[in-house]
Amino acid sequence: MATGTIQVGDKSLELPVRTGTIGPDVVDISKFYAGTGAFTYDPGFTSTASCESKITYIDGDEGILLYRGYPIEQLAEHGDFLETCYLLLYGELPTNAQKEEFDYNVTRHTMVHDQMTRFFTGFRRDAHPMAIMVASVGALSAFYHDSTDISDEHQRLIAQIRMIAKMPTLAAMAYKYSIGQPFVYPKNDLDYASNFLNMCFAVPCEDYKVNPVLSRALDRIFILHADHEQNASTSTVRLAGSSGANPFACIAAGIACLWGPAHGGANEAALKMLGEIGTPDNVAKYVAKAKDKNDPFRLMGFGHRVYKNYDPRAKIMQKTTHEVLAELGIKDDPLLDVAMELEQIALKDEYFIEKKLYPNIDFYSGITLKAMGFPTSMFTVLFALARTVGWIAQWKEMIEDPSHKIGRPRQLYVGADKRDYANIGQRG
Ligand code: CMC
Task: Quote the CA–CA distance of 425 and 10 in Å, as a whole number.
Answer: 47
Grade residue 391 by pLDDT with cuts at 50, 70 and 90.
very high
Cβ of 305 below 6 Å from ligand 1: yes
- Give pLDDT, residue 367: 86
Cβ of 357 below 6 Å from ligand 1: yes
Calculate mean pLDDT across residues 245-273: 92
For ligand 1, atom 14, the nearest C-alpha belongs to 355
For ligand 1, atom 25, the nearest C-alpha belongs to 305
Q: Is the pLDDT of residue 34 over 90?
A: yes
CA of 228 from ligand 1 middle (Å) equals 17
Q: Is the pLDDT of residue 133 over 90?
A: yes
Give the number of the atom of ligand 1 that is nearest the alpha carbon of residue 298: 1
- Give pLDDT, residue 344: 87
CA of 71 from ligand 1 middle (Å) equals 25
Decide which of 84 and 340 is more confident: 84
For ligand 1, atom 36, the nearest C-alpha belongs to 303
CA of 303 from ligand 1 middle (Å) equals 5
For ligand 1, atom 24, the nearest C-alpha belongs to 305
HEC-encoded secondary structure of the chain: CCEEEEEECCEEEEEEEECCCCCCCEECCCCHHHHHCCCCCCHHHCCCCCCCCCCEEEECCCCEEEECCEEHHHHHHHCCHHHHHHHHHHCCCCCHHHHHHHHHHHHCCCCCCCCHHHHHCCCCCCCCHHHHHHHHHHHHHHHCHHHCCCCCHHHHHHHHHHHHHHHHHHHHHHHHHHHCCCCCCCCCCCCHHHHHHHHHHCECCECCCCCHHHHHHHHHHHHHHCCCCCCHHHHHHHHHHHCCCCHHHHHHHHHHHHCCCCCCCHHHHHHHHHHHHCCHHHHHHHHHHHHCCCCCCCCCCECCCCCCCCCHHHHHHHHHHHHHHHHCCCCCCHHHHHHHHHHHHHHHCHHHHHCCCCECHHHHHHHHHHHHCCCHHHHHHHHHHHHHHHHHHHHHHHHHCCCCCCCCCCCCCCCCCCCCCCCHHHCC
pTM here? 0.92
Q: Tell me the pLDDT tens digit for each residue of 13-28.
A: 999 999 999 999 999 9
CA of 58 from ligand 1 middle (Å) equals 18
High-pLDDT (> 70) share of the chain, %: 100
Cβ of 359 below 6 Å from ligand 1: no
- Give pLDDT, residue 340: 84
Cβ of 266 below 6 Å from ligand 1: yes
Grade residue 359 by pLDDT with cuts at 50, 70 and 90.
confident
Q: Which of 39-48, 104-113, 185-194, 351-360 has the weakest average pLDDT?
A: 351-360
Residue to mutate (ligand 1; options 42, 305, 306; most atoms within 8 A of CB): 305
CA of 296 from ligand 1 middle (Å) equals 11
Q: Is the pLDDT of residue 197 over 90?
A: yes
Calculate mean pLDDT across residues 323-352: 88
Q: Is the pLDDT of residue 107 over 90?
A: yes
Grade residue 336 by pLDDT with cuts at 50, 70 and 90.
confident
CB 163 within 8 A of CB 388: yes
CA of 170 from ligand 1 middle (Å) equals 31
Q: Is the pLDDT of residue 406 over 90?
A: yes
Residue to mutate (ligand 1; options 360, 382, 383, 387; most atoms within 8 A of CB): 360
- Give pLDDT, residue 262: 86
Cβ of 300 below 6 Å from ligand 1: yes
Task: Quote the CA–CA distance of 346 and 362 in Å, as a whole number.
Answer: 16
Q: Tell me the pLDDT tens digit for each residue of 267-295.
A: 888 889 999 999 999 999 999 999 999 99
Give the number of the atom of ligand 1 that is nearest the alpha carbon of residue 231: 51
Burial class (CB in 10 A: 0-12, 13-18, 19+), 72: buried
For ligand 1, atom 17, the nearest C-alpha belongs to 355
Calculate mean pLDDT across residues 243-255: 97
Residue to mutate (ligand 1; options 272, 298, 305; most atoms within 8 A of CB): 298
CA of 304 from ligand 1 middle (Å) equals 6
**Number of other residues whose CB lies within 10 A of the CB of residue 397:** 19
Q: Tell me the pLDDT tens digit for each residue of 314-333.
A: 989 989 988 999 999 987 77
Residues annotated as catalytic (active site), given as ranges: 304, 362
Q: Which of 50-54, 108-112, 249-253, 402-406 has the weakest average pLDDT?
A: 402-406
Cβ of 298 below 6 Å from ligand 1: yes
- Give pLDDT, residue 264: 85
Q: Which of 108-122, 168-182, 249-263, 297-311 has the weakest average pLDDT?
A: 297-311
High-pLDDT (> 90) share of the chain, %: 85
Tell me what the pLDDT averaged over the chain comes to.
Answer: 94
